[in-house]
C-alpha cells in the first residue's frame, strides 16, 4: 500500500532544524557575535565549487556569515596548511570546512588534521573521528550525523536493528558505522571486497548506501520493510541507490536529491553556530 511507504524528506528535516538555528543566531547577534563558516576550495573542480556555493548560500539564508578561500590547483600541502592556520587563529571564524576532494598532490589527511578541533565543524580530523567512535564528538562528520538525524526525525528504531553500511570511507562509511553501533544497532560494514554483497545487504533492517557509484544498490537486494538511506550523490543527479527499484520493497527511503544532502548542509551550519557559542564563551 503506498500509504505505508515513508519518503524520508531531507528538506523537511532541514527546515525543522532551521527554526532552532535561527533563534540561536538571533541570540548570538544580540551578544554581538556573528557566527562564521570559512570554506576552503582548492582547484577548480566544478562540482566542488557548486557544493561550496550551496553551503555559502545556506549560511546566508540563516544569517550565518561565510568566507570563501579559493586556492589555485597547484597549492602545496604546506601552503594549504598555512591558510588553515590563519583561519584557526582568526577569532571571527567559528568553523572551517576544507572541501573534499583536494587535488591529488595534496596530503588531504594532513590538511584535515591542521584544522583545530574546536573549529572542525565538518568532523574530518583524526581526533574528531575517534571521539565520534567513542560517542563523544562535539562535531561528528556532517553526512553521518545527517543520516542519524533523518532516522531520528522519522522515529525509525535503531537499537537492536541490523544496519548494513556499504562503504568505508573515513568521513562517511566508517563514522556512520560507529554512530549506528553506538546507538545499539548491530552493524555490518561492506565494501568493494565484500563477497556476496547482495546477500549481506539483504540482511539489513537499515541500509546505508555510501559507495559513490550511481544506482549501485538494486531493488532485489532490499529485504521487504527495510529502511534505505542513500548518502550518495553522483553525476546525473542520482544517488547510490536505484530509487525506483528500491522504493518497492522498502518501508522508508530517502530520495536523491532532497534526502541526506539538505540535512548534511543544515548540520554543518548547526555545528558552526554551536562552535560560535562555545568559542564566544571561552573567549
Least Å from the CB of residue 38 to its own copies: 24
* Angstrom distance (rounded) from CA 219 to CA 242: 7
Residue 99: active-site member: yes
The C-alpha cell of 265 is what?
548542509
Residue 98, sorted as left (phi over 0), alpha (psi -120 to 50) or beta, turns out to be beta
Minimum Å distance from CB 12 to its own copies? 29
116: Cα separation from own chain's centroid: 19
Q: Which is nearer to its own copies, 18 or 174 (CB)?
A: 174
- Cα distance between the two ends of the chain: 56
Binding-site residues for NADP(+) sit at 167-169
Is 122 designated active site? yes
Of these residues, 18, 119, 120, 122, which one is catalytic? 122
Q: How far is the CB of 167 from its own copies (least distance, A)?
A: 11
The least distance separating its own copies from the CB of residue 161, rounded to whole angstroms, comes to 8
Going by the annotation, the residues of the binding site are 167-169
**Are the C-beta atoms of residues 89 and 116 closer than 8 Å to each other?**
no
- Residue closer to its own copies by CB (options 18, 161) is 161
Largest Cα separation within the chain, whole Å, is 57
Nearer to its own copies, 136 or 220 (CB): 136
Q: Which one is catalytic: 99, 113, 205, 242? A: 99
User: How would you classify residue 129: left for phi > 0, otherwise alpha for psi between -120 and 50, otherwise beta?
Assistant: alpha
- At closest approach, how far in Å is the CB of 80 from its own copies? 19
The DSSP secondary structure of 40-98, one letter per residue, reads EEES--HHHHHHHHHHHHHHHHTT-EEEEEEE-TT--HHHHHHHHHHHHH-TT--EEEE
Residue (76 or 135) nearer to its own copies, CB: 135
Query: Which residue do the cell numbers 588531504 mark?
Result: 108
Is the distance from CB of 203 to CB of 158 less than 8 angstroms?
no
| Distance between CA atoms of residues 195 and 208, nearest Å | 18
By beta-carbon proximity to its own copies, the closer residue of 121 and 131 is 131
Interacting residue ranges for its own copies, rule: CB under 8 A: 109, 126-127, 129-131, 133-134, 159-162, 168, 170, 174, 177-178, 181, 184, 186-191, 193-195, 200, 203
**Total number of residues shown for the chain:** 283
The residues carrying an active-site annotation are: 55, 99, 122
Amino acid at each position: 500500500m503506498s500509504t505505508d511507504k515513508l519518503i524520508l524528506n531531507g528538506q523537511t528535516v532541514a527546515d525543522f532544524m532551521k527554526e532552532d538555528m535561527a533563534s540561536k543566531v538571533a541570540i548570538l547577534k544580540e551578544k554581538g557575535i556573528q557566527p562564521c563558516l570559512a570554506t576552503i576550495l582548492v582547484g577548480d573542480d566544478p562540482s566542488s565549487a557548486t557544493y561550496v556555493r550551496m553551503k555559502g548560500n545556506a549560511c546566508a539564508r540563516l544569517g550565518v556569515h561565510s568566507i570563501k578561500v579559493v586556492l589555485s590547483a597547484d597549492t602545496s600541502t604546506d601552503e594549504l596548511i598555512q591558510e588553515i592556520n590563519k583561519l584557526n587563529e582568526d577569532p571571527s571564524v567559528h568553523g572551517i570546512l576544507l572541501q573534499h576532494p583536494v587535488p591529488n598532490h595534496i596530503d588531504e589527511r594532513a590538511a584535515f588534521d591542521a584544522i583545530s578541533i574546536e573549529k572542525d565543524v565538518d568532523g574530518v580530523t583524526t581526533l574528531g573521528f575517534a571521539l565520534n567512535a567513542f560517542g563523544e564528538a562535539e562535531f561528528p562528520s556532517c553526512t553521518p550525523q545527517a543520516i542519524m538525524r533523518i532516522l531520528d526525525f522519522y522515529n525509525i528504531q535503531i537499537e537492536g536493528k541490523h544496519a548494513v553500511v556499504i562503504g568505508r570511507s573515513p568521513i562517511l562509511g566508517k563514522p556512520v558505522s560507529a554512530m549506528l553501533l553506538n546507538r545499539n544497532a548491530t552493524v555490518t560494514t561492506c565494501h568493494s571486497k565484500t563477497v556476496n554483497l547482495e546477500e549481506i545487504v539483504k540482511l539489513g533492517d537499515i541500509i546505508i548506501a555510501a559507495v559513490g557509484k550511481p544506482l549501485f544498490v538494486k531493488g532485489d537486494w532490499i529485504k521487504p520493510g527495510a529502511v534505505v538511506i542513500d548518502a550518495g550523490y553522483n553525476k546525473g543527479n542520482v544517488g547510490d541507490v536505484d530509487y525506483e527499484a528500491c522504493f518497492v520493497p522498502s518501508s522508508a527511503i530517502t530520495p536523491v536529491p532532497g534526502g541526506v544532502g539538505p540535512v548534511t548542509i543544515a548540520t554543518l551550519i548547526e555545528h558552526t553556530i554551536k562552535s560560535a557559542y562555545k568559542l564566544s564563551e571561552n573567549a
